[in-house]
Amino acid sequence: MPRLFVLCASAALVAALPAGAAAGAPQAPSEAGAVPSASKPEAAVLAFVSAFNALDRSRFDPLFAEDVTLFFPSAPFPVRRVEGKTATLEWFGRFFDSLRKRGAGPGIQPQDLTVQDYGDVAVATFHLGGGESVSRRTVVLRRQRGQWAIAHLHASSETERR
């Protein structure tokens, strides 16, 4: 599975749990197009992970703030920071299309997921293990008009030191 895909998926899961919670078995809503209650950042993260794993743009796209920024360490995303919802969704759309062409699905499962809730801002972090590298994700969410939206997504990977 490409590391980029794993990175994207990981970021979504970070915000899914309350502070100090271990990555567990909470499940995202299964109804197509359902937008969970966004009274907690966990709901927004679960919605992101569910839509990401399903490559479902109709559920995925509304989860981002208009001024979202993101960093990813590899193709197809550019090395530079991606700014704004339009550009972010364009890059994710390309990524989703490439996965569909290969018949691949993300199936991301974050490890050591932690969410820190600061009122109108929440920070979720986790990592994806496996192979010779470690992939880390950070998702920053912001409450806007009573709904949580992804304001920043940061993905990084490096070869594991032994």
Beta partners for 127? 111, 136
Backbone angles phi, psi at 14, to 5 degrees: -55, -45
- What does the pLDDT profile of the chain (162 residues) look like in tens digits? 443 333 343 333 333 333 333 333 333 333 333 344 456 887 787 788 788 889 999 999 999 999 999 997 766 777 789 999 999 999 889 888 888 998 877 777 777 878 899 999 999 988 876 667 778 889 999 998 889 999 999 988 876 555
Tokens matching residue 24 = 């567990």
The answer for residues whose C-beta is within 8 angstroms of residue 77's C-beta and 6 or more apart is 4, 70, 91, 95
Task: Of 96, 108, 162, give the one whose Cα is nearest residue 136.
Answer: 108
- DSSP conformation letters of 94-121: HHHHHHHHHT-------EEEEEEE-SSE
pLDDT of residue 88: 92
Are β-strands 147-159 and 64-71 bridged in parallel, bridged antiparallel, or unpaired?
Answer: parallel
Rounded-to-integer distance, Cα 16 and Cα 3, Å: 21
What CATH number labels 3-159?
3.10.450.50
pLDDT of residue 90: 92
Domain parsing of the chain, residue ranges: 3-159
pLDDT of residue 20: 34
